[in-house]
């Protein structure tokens, strides 16, 4: 047995056998080199924790949830418990460096969930097919649906861990969730995960904490601005590569910079998955440091902005930003930075962001009453309002190079 001393959950036990083999697999160990919160450390310097730590934490909560359910008489075979724990261990295995940044720049048409499944299948092959049941639960093909809900739902162990973990490392206390109590309140009715009536207040806190973390951490304007700098930097690097310019890259980053990789290539070329599996935060940062001295002015400007923490300036608008406003900004960028009007597209970004804290059209969080009936949390809570919970009024982000920030 391996014991991990986790700062959020305390001592976590990984039993010998399948689960420990997964933890020790190279594809899993890769997550130790990928930060959980990407660019958030620009705002919260303590946010240095990794995807690996989060995966271990989510595994721990799943193990505790299985124990709590079995104590209430929910029958779960040992093989099913091990399988759902294995699935949650690997749920984030397909994440690339800096979270979703690569999905929009270096690869197209394939998301990290698809890549996670490919990597899980690779581990299953390496372990002689021992993960067949785990894969079935992960893909929601197993007949016990509630096991899949522990991995992916509006009240899954993934969210319970990352809210508390990200709150801990960022110092944003509004994100703290009473996870231990929520686990004790879990139940299963008609193959669906529900929460006992006594747990209503914990769920109310969970949903409001989730909202706070999204707007204070995950969608913080400075975090969004830093991500846009990195996205534009990688897009500029790809443009230069496509035009025959030699760029410093690790072999793994080079594969994605000098090739247009999409889902079809991932399906047919084993090198795509290999190079992706070898790619981590270090590949990006090593390239960025060298690009800061490149002859290409735009590449150099963007790389220096990241290294020296001079992220884009951000304006947040309540309405769609007019084309005239953007055109005027482009003109000023071209004049001040000494670049063509066309190339100013790398020096700004326009995006809309919207996020609800509860999807009323998705799989709901149901509360189990003492009489055995179940109701959506919105209908039994005095605090939560379905319309407000599901509200998705967008915010419009305009970020641009600081050369014109004070004009």
Instruction: Give CA 285 to chain center in angstroms.
Output: 19
* 292: region left, alpha or beta (phi > 0 left; psi from -120 to 50 alpha): alpha
In this predicted model, what pLDDT tens digit does every residue of 51-64 receive, in sequence order? 999 999 999 999 99
Local confidence band at 186 (pLDDT 50, 70, 90 cut-offs): very high
Three-state DSSP class for residue 363: coil
Q: Is the pLDDT of residue 89 over 80?
A: yes
Q: What is the pTM of this model?
A: 0.93
Instruction: Give CA 31 to chain center in angstroms.
Output: 12
For the segment 377-383, the average pLDDT, to the nearest whole number, is 79
Q: Is the pLDDT of residue 399 over 80?
A: yes
Name which of 64, 51, 49 is nearest 12 in CA terms.
64
In this predicted model, what pLDDT tens digit does every residue of 387-397 receive, in sequence order? 565 566 788 88
- The confidence score (pLDDT) of residue 274 equals 95
- The confidence score (pLDDT) of residue 363 equals 75
Identify the residue whose tokens are 């581990």: 123
Q: Is the pLDDT of residue 104 over 70?
A: yes
- The confidence score (pLDDT) of residue 178 equals 84
Q: Is-contact 123 22, C-beta < 8 A?
A: yes
Q: Is the pLDDT of residue 173 over 60?
A: yes
Q: Is-contact 313 225, C-beta < 8 A?
A: yes
Domains identified in the chain and CATH numbers: 2-218+356-390 (1.10.3210.10), 221-353+397-404 (1.20.1250.30)
**Beta carbons within 8 Å of 261's beta carbon, 6+ residues apart:** 106, 107, 108, 255, 272
Q: Is the pLDDT of residue 145 over 70?
A: yes
For the segment 295-323, the average pLDDT, to the nearest whole number, is 92
- The confidence score (pLDDT) of residue 387 equals 54
Give burial (CB, 10 Å; 0-12/13-18/19+) of 88.
buried
For the segment 76-88, the average pLDDT, to the nearest whole number, is 97
């Amino acid at each position: 047995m391996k014991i991990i001393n986790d700062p959020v959950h305390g001592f976590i036990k990984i039993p010998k056998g399948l689960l420990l083999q997964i933890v020790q697999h190279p594809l899993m160990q890769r997550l130790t080199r990928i930060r959980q919160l990407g660019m958030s450390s620009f705002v919260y310097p303590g946010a240095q924790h990794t995807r690996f730590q989060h995966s271990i934490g989510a595994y721990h909560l799943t193990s505790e949830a299985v124990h709590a359910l079995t104590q209430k008489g929910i029958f779960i075979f040992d093989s099913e418990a091990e399988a759902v724990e294995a699935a949650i261990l690997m749920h984030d295995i397909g994440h690339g460096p800096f979270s979703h940044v690569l999905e929009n720049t270096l690869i197209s048409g394939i998301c990290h969930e698809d890549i996670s499944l490919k990597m899980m299948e690779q581990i299953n092959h390496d372990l002689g097919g021992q993960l067949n049941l785990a894969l079935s639960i992960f893909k929601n093909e197993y007949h016990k649906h509630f096991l899949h809900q522990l991995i992916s739902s509006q009240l899954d162990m993934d969210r319970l861990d990352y809210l508390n973990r990200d709150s801990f490392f960022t110092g944003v206390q509004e994100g703290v969730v009473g996870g231990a109590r929520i686990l004790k309140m879990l139940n299963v009715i008609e193959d669906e995960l529900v929460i006992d009536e006594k747990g209503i207040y914990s769920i109310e806190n969970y949903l409001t904490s989730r909202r706070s973390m999204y707007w204070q951490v995950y969608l913080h304007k400075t975090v969004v601005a830093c991500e846009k700098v990195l996205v534009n930097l990688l897009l500029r690097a790809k443009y230069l590569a496509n035009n025959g310019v030699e760029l410093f890259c690790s072999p793994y980053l080079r594969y994605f910079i000098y090739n247009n990789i999409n889902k079809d290539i991932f399906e047919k070329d084993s090198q795509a998955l290999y190079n992706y599996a070898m790619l981590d935060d270090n590949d990006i940062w090593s390239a960025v440091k060298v690009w800061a001295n490149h002859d290409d002015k735009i590449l150099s400007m963007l790389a220096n902005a990241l290294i020296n923490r001079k992220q884009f300036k951000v304006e947040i608008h309540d309405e769609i930003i007019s084309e005239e406003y953007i055109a005027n900004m482009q003109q000023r960028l071209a004049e001040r930075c000494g670049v063509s009007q066309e190339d100013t597209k790398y020096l700004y970004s326009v995006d809309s962001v919207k996020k609800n804290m509860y999807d009323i059209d998705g799989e709901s969080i149901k509360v189990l009453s003492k009489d055995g009936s179940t109701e959506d949390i919105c209908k039994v809570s005095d605090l939560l309002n379905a319309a407000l919970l599901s509200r998705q009024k967008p915010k419009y982000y305009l970020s641009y190079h600081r050369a014109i920030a004070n004009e």
